[in-house]
Amino acid sequence: MRSIWNGAISFGLVSIPIKLVNATESRSVSFRQIHTEDGGRIRYRKVCELDGAEVTQAEIGKAYEDADGTMIPITDEDLAALPLPTAKTIEIVAFVPAGEIDPLQMDAAYYLSANGVPAAKPYTLLREALKRSEKVAVAKYALRGRERLGMLRVVDDVIAMHGLLWPDEIRAPEGVAPETPVQVREAELDLADALMATLGEVDISTLHDDYREAVEEMIAAKAEGGAGVVPPEADADGGGQVIDLMAALESSVRAAKEARGETAEAGEAAPVTRLRPRSRGTTPKETGAKKSTSAKSTTTAKPTAKSTSKKTAAKKTTAKTTAKTTAKKATPRKRTA
- Average pLDDT over the chain, rounded to whole? 78
- Topology classification of domain 1-25+80-170: Ku70; Chain: A; Domain 2 (2.40.290)
Is residue 55 within 8 A of residue 149, CB to CB? The reply is: no
What span, in angstroms and rounded, lies between the C-alpha atoms of 42 and 46?
A: 13
Among the residue ranges 33-42, 204-213, 323-332, the one predicted with the least confidence is 323-332
Q: Which of 152, 110, 114 is nearest to 135 (CA)?
A: 152
pLDDT digits (tens, 9 = 90+) for 1-10: 788 889 999 9
Please determine, for residue 93, whether its predicted confidence score (pLDDT) is greater than 90: yes
- Maximum CA pair distance of the chain? 164
The predicted model scores a pTM of: 0.62
CA-atom Rg of the chain in angstroms: 42
Q: Give, for 123, the enclosing helix (H) or strand (E).
A: helix 120-133
Please determine, for residue 273, whether its predicted confidence score (pLDDT) is greater than 70: no
Exposure string over 52-81, b if 16+ CB within 10 A, otherwise e: eeeeeeeeeeeeeeeeeeeeeeeeeeeeee
Please determine, for residue 303, whether its predicted confidence score (pLDDT) is greater than 60: no
Contacts (Cβ under 8 Å, ≥6 apart) of 321: none
Q: Which of 135, 141, 80, 144 is nearest to 112 (CA)?
A: 141
Q: Which of 154, 145, 150, 105 is nearest to 126 (CA)?
A: 154
Please determine, for residue 285, whether its predicted confidence score (pLDDT) is greater than 90: no
SS3 264: coil
Mean pLDDT, rounded, for 268-292: 46
What pLDDT shows up at residue 232?
67
Contacts (Cβ under 8 Å, ≥6 apart) of 158: 111, 112, 113, 127
What pLDDT shows up at residue 233?
67
Give the residue range(s) of CATH 2.40.290.10 domains in the chain.
Answer: 1-25+80-170
What span, in angstroms and rounded, lies between the C-alpha atoms of 111 and 33?
A: 34
pLDDT digits (tens, 9 = 90+) for 75-91: 988 887 887 777 789 99
Q: Model confidence at 71, in pLDDT bands (50, 70, 90)?
A: very high
Q: Model confidence at 242, in pLDDT bands (50, 70, 90)?
A: low
Q: Which of 26, 14, 1 is nearest to 108 (CA)?
A: 26
How far is Cα of residue 173 from the mean position of the Cα atoms in its chain? 15
Mean pLDDT, rounded, for 29-48: 93
What pLDDT shows up at residue 26?
87
